[in-house]
């Protein structure tokens, strides 16, 4: 058991679980899984690999033929399925909103089954709608068919969260949406998840989605778990031939649209040029002194909270100036460590600028990445072997 598991506790455990359907199909074959509290687990694999069956065993929509599943240390076979399901959120690809009920009534289905008071239901529905930016006054009384597909699935997700379950099961929830809406909902959901730290078990056949959302990815094939690990482990060199094939060779050698800048910097921290960080509120004199002390041409201007504002150029900075406005370049391109490498390259091209400022997740500037470093990063990501040598040899 890892340290994380010790502190967080196990939410769901699969212990040698198999499922053989009456027609003899072995849908799930001796699966062992440990799902930690707060973890976002993605089950992925080709159709018919048993990922959905595995998911449905957690809320007892399917019962295993052999093996045991524990939910918070209790064997779920001993639990009343109805009572268990009310504690487990469930989102399906078809959304499944009840067309004869309003949005508010749909979201409140489980609270209603749990016999919450009308007032408590109402408060909860409004709170959830606001969370995804849907005005309760407008949307409570609407009917599902009056919403777009993306809005419907937003409501589908809210419905699953309504009774505040500790774990949410999601069966290809964004699978039937267009790519743009899908991306939007993925981002939103990831944000919700980072706020609420629900345990999520998410089924998909889309590796981009899995890599984007999952803390842990479980790859299944013919009812078996063939590999599991963090997204980085899977895109690394340790993957089996099947996993490599399934997630695509393209990703194995690294896809600049998937590898985050921060991820690459972990191994290449020296690529980042450090520049003095200057508090713009402290005034021109202080800025001038700081730049001179560091012997730097440029400084990274921040607000009193340390958040990135603009670049300060020493050349145009006069120590006696009343303010810094003449020396500030607000159009300097900046990217976050969470952005993919591709974004850094795109900013360089779009802004026609030889460097890009890298910010951490709290928008504090870390340093500057030059054009050549970005190029190195792209090459190393896409051609890990040859790329490194070429760069070294240069």
Partner 1 sequence: MTVWVKFIRYIIEHHDKVLLYTEQHLYISMIALALGFAFCLPVGIWLTRHERYAPIVIGAANVAETIPSLALLGFLIFIFGIGDANAIAALFLYALLPMLQNTYTGIKNVDRSLIEAGRGMGMTDWQILTMVELPLARPVIVAGVRVASVWTIGTATLAAAIGGGGLGRLIFAGLATIRDDIMLAGAVPAALLALLADWTFAAVERWITPRGLRVQQHGVGKAKARRKMGGEVKA
Contacting residues toward partner 1, per CB under 8 A: 59, 61, 82-87, 90, 92, 94-102, 109-110, 113, 143-146, 159, 169
Say if strands 88-92 and 167-171 run parallel, antiparallel, or are unpaired. parallel
Tokens of 107: 């979201």
- In the complex, the smallest distance separating the C-beta of residue 216 from partner 1, rounded to whole angstroms, is 23
Beta carbon nearer to partner 1, 129 or 169: 169
Beta carbon nearer to partner 1, 34 or 140: 140
Beta carbon nearer to partner 1, 61 or 382: 61
- In the complex, the smallest distance separating the C-beta of residue 102 from partner 1, rounded to whole angstroms, is 7
Beta carbon nearer to partner 1, 111 or 223: 111
Beta carbon nearer to partner 1, 113 or 338: 113
Q: What DSSP line would sit under 57-117, residue for residue?
A: HHTTSS--SEEEEEETTEEGGGS-HHHHHTTEEEEETT----TTS-HHHHHTHHHHHTT--
Beta carbon nearer to partner 1, 168 or 261: 168
Tokens of 258: 């998937």
- In the complex, the smallest distance separating the C-beta of residue 41 from partner 1, rounded to whole angstroms, is 18
Alpha helices in the chain (DSSP H): 3-8, 51-58, 81-85, 103-107, 109-113, 118-131, 136-139, 149-161, 179-196, 207-213, 231-235, 241-247, 249-252, 261-267, 284-294, 341-351, 371-382, 384-393
- In the complex, the smallest distance separating the C-beta of residue 143 from partner 1, rounded to whole angstroms, is 4
Beta carbon nearer to partner 1, 61 or 272: 61
Beta carbon nearer to partner 1, 51 or 85: 85
- In the complex, the smallest distance separating the C-beta of residue 152 from partner 1, rounded to whole angstroms, is 12
- In the complex, the smallest distance separating the C-beta of residue 5 from partner 1, rounded to whole angstroms, is 27
- Residue found under tokens 């713009």: 280
- In the complex, the smallest distance separating the C-beta of residue 56 from partner 1, rounded to whole angstroms, is 8
Beta carbon nearer to partner 1, 96 or 276: 96
- In the complex, the smallest distance separating the C-beta of residue 121 from partner 1, rounded to whole angstroms, is 14
Q: What DSSP line would sit under 255-271, residue for residue?
A: -TTTSBHHHHHHH-GGG
- In the complex, the smallest distance separating the C-beta of residue 35 from partner 1, rounded to whole angstroms, is 18
Give burial (CB, 10 Å; 0-12/13-18/19+) of 233: middle
Is residue 130 within 8 A of residue 50, CB to CB? The reply is: no
HSE on the CB side for 324, CA within 13 Å? 25
- With H, G, I as helix, E, B as strand and everything else as coil, classify residue 273: strand
- How crowded is residue 133: how many other Cβ atoms within 10 Å of its Cβ? 8
Chain centre distance of CA 273 = 28
- Residue found under tokens 């597909």: 149
């Amino acid at each position: 058991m890892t340290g994380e598991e010790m502190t967080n506790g196990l939410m769901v455990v699969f212990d040698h679980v198999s499922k053989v359907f009456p027609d003899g199909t072995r849908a799930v074959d001796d699966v062992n899984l440990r799902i930690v509290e707060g973890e976002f687990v993605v089950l992925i694999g080709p159709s018919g690999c048993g990922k959905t069956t595995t998911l449905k065993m957690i809320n007892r929509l399917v019962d295993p033929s052999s093996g045991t599943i524990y939910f918070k240390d209790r064997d779920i076979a001993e639990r009343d399925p109805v009572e268990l399901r009310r504690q487990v959120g469930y989102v399906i690809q078809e959304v499944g909103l009840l067309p004869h009920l309003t949005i508010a009534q749909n979201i409140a289905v489980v609270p209603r089954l749990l016999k919450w008071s009308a007032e408590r239901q109402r408060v909860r529905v409004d709170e959830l709608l606001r969370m995804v930016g849907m005005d309760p006054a407008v949307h409570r009384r609407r009917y599902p068919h009056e919403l777009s597909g993306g809005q419907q699935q937003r409501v589908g997700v809210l419905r699953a969260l309504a009774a505040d379950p500790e774990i949410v099961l999601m069966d290809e929830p964004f699978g039937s949406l267009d790519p743009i809406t899908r991306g939007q909902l993925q981002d939103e959901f990831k944000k919700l998840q980072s706020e609420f730290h629900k345990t999520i078990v998410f089924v998909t056949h889309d590796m981009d989605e899995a890599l984007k959302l999952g803390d842990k990815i479980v790859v299944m094939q013919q009812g078996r778990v063939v590999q599991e690990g963090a997204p980085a482990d899977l895109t690394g060199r340790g993957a089996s031939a099947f996993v490599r094939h399934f997630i695509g060779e393209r990703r194995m050698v690294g896809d600049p649209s998937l590898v985050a800048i921060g991820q690459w910097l972990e191994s290449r921290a020296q690529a980042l040029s450090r520049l003095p960080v200057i508090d713009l509120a402290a005034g021109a004199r202080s800025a001038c002194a700081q730049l001179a002390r560091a012997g730097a041409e440029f400084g990274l201007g921040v607000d009193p909270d340390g958040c990135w504002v603009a670049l300060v150029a020493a050349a145009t900075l006069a120590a006696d100036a009343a303010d810094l406005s003449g020396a500030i370049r607000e159009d300097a391109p900046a990217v976050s460590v969470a952005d993919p490498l591709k974004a850094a390259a795109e900013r360089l091209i779009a802004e026609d600028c030889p460097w890009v400022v890298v910010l951490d997740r709290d928008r504090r500037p870390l340093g500057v990445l030059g054009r050549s470093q970005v190029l190195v990063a792209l090459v190393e990501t896409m051609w890990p072997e040859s790329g490194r040598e070429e760069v070294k040899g240069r």
